[in-house]
Structure 1
C-alpha cells in the first residue's frame, strides 16, 4: 500500500500536470518575448538556441503532462518520477534567458534579466495549490540562477564597484531568499489550516444534514429524506413498492404508561420494520404514528398484498416494556410504480390513500392502491379551473322560490349555485362543492356567490320588483375567522340599502367546531348589521334548542327528511307540529324545505306552516328566468287577489294575451334569449294556471 507521503506526491503530480497543460500557451508567448529582448541586447544566437530547446522540451513534456493530468491513482511510481523530472528540467531553458541577458553591459537589460528571474520565482513560489514536491525544487533552481547572474554582473567591468558594495548586495540577496523560503513555509501552513477548517466544516455540515434528514428517536429517515429516497429509487430502479403504515396505540400507551413506554414502542416498531425491509429496502418515520417502507423486487399486486399482510401481522405482535405486554394496531396502504402511477409523488399519495381505506376496513387489511377503485383527488389544476369558472361566470347562483302556502306568493328565494360547464353541461353543487371544500376555496366561492346575489337583488329593486328574502348559505370558514367575517362585511357594506333583503343560512353543525365562540360572535354581528339569520336543517343537529336560546334567529328551515315522511310516518307530523309551535312561540318564521307533492303542501297548511320551498313550486333557475318569474308573479298576484275564488275556474286570471304582454315586458327589462323565454314560459305556465306560484 502507498504511504501518505507517496499518495501526496501522486496527487501533486496530477495537479502540476494540469497546470502545465493549462499554461502552455502563456509560456510560449513569454519565450517569444524573451527571445526578442535577448536579440535586441545582442545575443541573437543564444536566444535562438534557447527558444529551440524550449520548443523541443515543450514538445516532449506536453504529452506527458496531458497523460498525467488524466491518469488515475494507478500511475506507476516510475511514470510519476519521470513526470516530476521533466517538469523540473523544463524550467531550466526559461531561466537561461535571464542568465544570458545578465551578461549585457547595459543596465536596463540587466534589470530586465532580474525582473524575469524574480517573476519566475514568484510564479513557482506562490502557486495556489500546495505543490511542495514541485515548488521547493523549482525555487531552488531560481535561486541558483540568481546567484549565477549576481556573479556575472559582479565580474562585468561595466559594473565595477568596491567589494564591500557587492557584499551588501549579496547579503540583501540572501535575506530575500530567506524571506521567500519563510513565506512559502507560512503559505503551506496556512493552506494546511484552511484545509483542516474546511474538513471540519464539511464534517459538521454532514452531521447537520444527518440530523435534519433522520428522526432523532428512531434514527430512521424523516419524511423529506424518505420522499427523496423514493424519488431516487424510482428514477434508478423503476421497480419499487411503497408501504405506508399507520400505527394505532402508541398515544394511549404514552398516556397510560408514560412517554418512555411510548418511545420504546416506537423504537420497537422501527426495529421490526428495518428487519422487514431487508437489504433491498429502506424505512422512514413519516409522523408520530406513521411509517414508510420501500422495497424493490416485490412483484405484482398479489405479492405486495402478501408483504403488506406480513408487515401488519409482525407489527401486531405484542410488545414488552417493563414486564408489561402492550398491543398496537396497524393499517397498511400499498402502492406500486406502474402504468397507473408513474411518479414518486403519486406513489406516496397512492399509498397514503390506500392506508386511509385500510383504516376504514373492519379487519384493517392491507390494501393495494388501484386508481380505478379510488376517487380522483383534486389537484392545483382543478383549483385553477374552478377559479377560472368563477371569474368567467360559468359558476353562478340559481334561485329557488320560497312561497307562502296560503296565497302562493313568492316570499323570497334561496341562492343555489350551478356550474354551466363547457363540456359536461349544467352541474349541481354536489359535483363541485366537495372540490371547493378540499381545495380550501370556501372564502373565494362565498364572496363570488354573495357578490352576484347582491348585484341581482339590486337589478330587481331597480325594476320595482320585491325580491323578498334572498338566502345565501354561509360556510363555517367565513364565520370562524376574522378575515372571513371582515371580507363579507366589506362586501355587504357596499350595498347598504339591500341588507334588508339578505338572509344568511347557517347549518347548526358549525357550532360543534372548536371555534364556535367566534362563530356566535360573527352571527350576532351580522344580525346587528341588519341581515336576517336562518338556521338551516333545523332538528337534525346535536343542540338545536340550545342554539335557539343562545342566538337570535329570524328563520328556521325544517330539514327535508321531516317533510318527505309526511303522510307516511305519524312521528313526522308530531315533530313538525312541535317545531311550528316553537317557531310561533319565538316569533320566527318556519319554512318547510323539500315540498314535492300536493299532499305534503295540504298537510303543512292544516298544521299552520305558512312558508314552504321545494320542487312542487319550481326548481332553481338562472337570474334572467327568475327576473321573468318575479315580474309575471307580481302582476298575476295583483290580478288574482281582485277576483273571487271559484273552484270551477282557474285561480289565475292570466289570459294568453296578458301572459304574452308580460313576456314582452320581461324581454325588454332583462337580456334573455327568446328561446330561453319560450322554454321557461312552457315550464311556468302550468304553475301559474294551477295557482302554485303567483
Structure 2
C-alpha cells in the first residue's frame, strides 16, 4: 500500500499542482487580459475625448471665422452707409446693433476656445504627444489680431454717423478689408487646418494603441475584442468622415456668397493674393475690375429688399456670362462686385471687356411684373502697369470706379488724370485747414423776395472760398472735403462774423436789409456753441436777434442728439430769431417731426421747383408742401426760381416768398446792398429788373 500510495500520490499531487497552475495562469491571464481590455477601453476613451475636444475646437474656430466674416461685412456696410448723410437712424441703429452683437459673439467664442484648449491640455494623450508650438503661437497671434480687429469694429460702431462719414475716405472700406482681413483670414485658415491635423493625430493614436493591445489578446479574446471595439472604431471613422464633410461645407460657405452663389470677399482676397504671388514668381500680369451698381439704393427703397436681392442675382449671372471660366467673379458685399482676369494686361482689351460687362448688366430686368432699370459703373486697373501690390491695386481701381460713377453706366480704366483729380482734392483738403485763419472765406447774399411784388424781404448768406490760387470756389467744390466738426464750426463762425459786420454797415448807411439767414450745421446746434456764436456777433455789432434767421436741414430730426438741437432752436425762437427748415422733401422728415419741431419757415427744395412746367408730379408735390405749410401756420419759401413761369405757378399755388436766379444770383455785400431800400419804403430805382417786371405783370 505504501509503495502504491506513493506513486499515486505524486501524480495526483502533480496533476493538482498543474490544475492549480493552470488556474493561477488562467487567473493571471484573465487579470492581464482584463487589464489590457481596461487599458484599451480607457485609451480609446481618452483618444475619443481628445478627438471630441479637437472637433469642438475645429468647429468653434470655423464658426468664429464665419462670424468674423459677417462682422467684417457688417462693419463695411456701416461705413458705406455713413457716406449717405440722409440715411435715417432707424436704419443705421440695427446695423450698429448687429456689429456689437457680432463682436460679443466672437469674444464669447474666444472664451470658449480658451476653455477647450485648457481641457485638451489636461488630456493624457495630449501630454504624451509633443505640443504643436507653431499652432500655439499662431493661435496667440490670431487672438491678438482678432482682439485688435474687434476694438476697431467697436470703435466704428461706437462712433457717430457724422464721425464715420468724416473719418473714412471713399475707398476706406476696401483698405479696411485688405489691411485687416487678409492676415486674419490666412491665420484662421492655417489654424483650422492645423486643428484638423491634430484631430487626425488623435485618430491615428487611437488606431495604433488599440491595434497593439488587441494583438496581445487576439488568441483568446479576438472575437470579443472585435465585437467590443470594431463598432467603436467604425463610429470613430464615421464621425471623422462626417466632420470632414462638415468642414468642407463650412469652407464652401466661408468662400461663397450665399445670395448669388459666386465667390465672396474672402475668396476674392485669397485669389488676389495668389495672383500677386504668381506675378512675383513668374512676372505674369493680370487685371482687376470693380463693379458698383447705379441707383441700387433707390431700387431697394422703392421696391423692397426682395427686388434688390433679385437685382444682385441678375448682375452676378450677367457677369458670369461675360467673363471666361478661369476669370474670378466675386461679390464683395452690398452692391459691389469684383472680377480678376489672369493674363489680361492690355488696357484696350480690358476696356472692351469692361464695356461689354456694362452693356450686359444694363438690360431691363423683370421683377414681379415690374421692369427694373439696372446699370453699373466699372473701374479697372492692370498689374503691373498701374500697381505692384494689393493695396495699391485696389486704390487705383477704386479711383477709376470713382471716375466712372460720376458718369454712371460706364467703364473707366485707371489713368493719371483720375489720380490728378484725387490729388487736387487732397490738396484742397489740406488748404481748408488754414482757410479760416487766413480769412479766405467770403459771404455772398441771395435775396428772399415777395413773389407778388419782387421786393426784398431778407437774404440768405452763402459761403464762398477765395482760394489763393484757384480763385473763388463754390460750396460744392469744398464743403464735401471738410473733415471734422472743427472745420465746419470755424467756417460757420467766420460766416457769422462777416454777416454781422455787413449788417452793421448796411444799417449805418440807413438801409433795411431784413433778416439774414445763416445755415447752422448740426455741430453748432447740439451744444451751446451755435447760440453763443450768434449772441457774440449780435453783441459785438450792436444788432438785434431778429436781424438774423437760422436755416437747418431736416436731417437734424434723425440726429442722435435731436433733443439738444430742439433745445437750441427753441432758445433761438424765444429771442425772436426765425428758424427755417431747409431742403424740405429731400430727407426723411415725417409729419410728426413737422408737428413737434419749432420752426417758422418751410423751404421747398430747388429740385422740386426746377421741374415745374415739365413734371406734373413735382407740381403736385409743391402744391402739397405749400398747403401743408399754410395749414401748419408756417411761411413757405421756394428755392431755385429761375423763370417767371415758375414764379407765377408758385404764386397761384399760394407761395408768397421765394429766391433764385430769376431775382438775383448770390452776390457780394457791396452789390447786394444796391437792391436794399432805405428806411421803410424801397425806392423804385433800387428794385431789381425781376421786381419791376413783377410789378408790371401784377398790375
- TM-score for the superposition, normalised by structure 2: 0.45
Which protein has the larger Cα radius of gyration, Structure 1 or Structure 2?
1
Larger RCO, structures 1/2 (Cα 8 Å, 6+ apart): 2
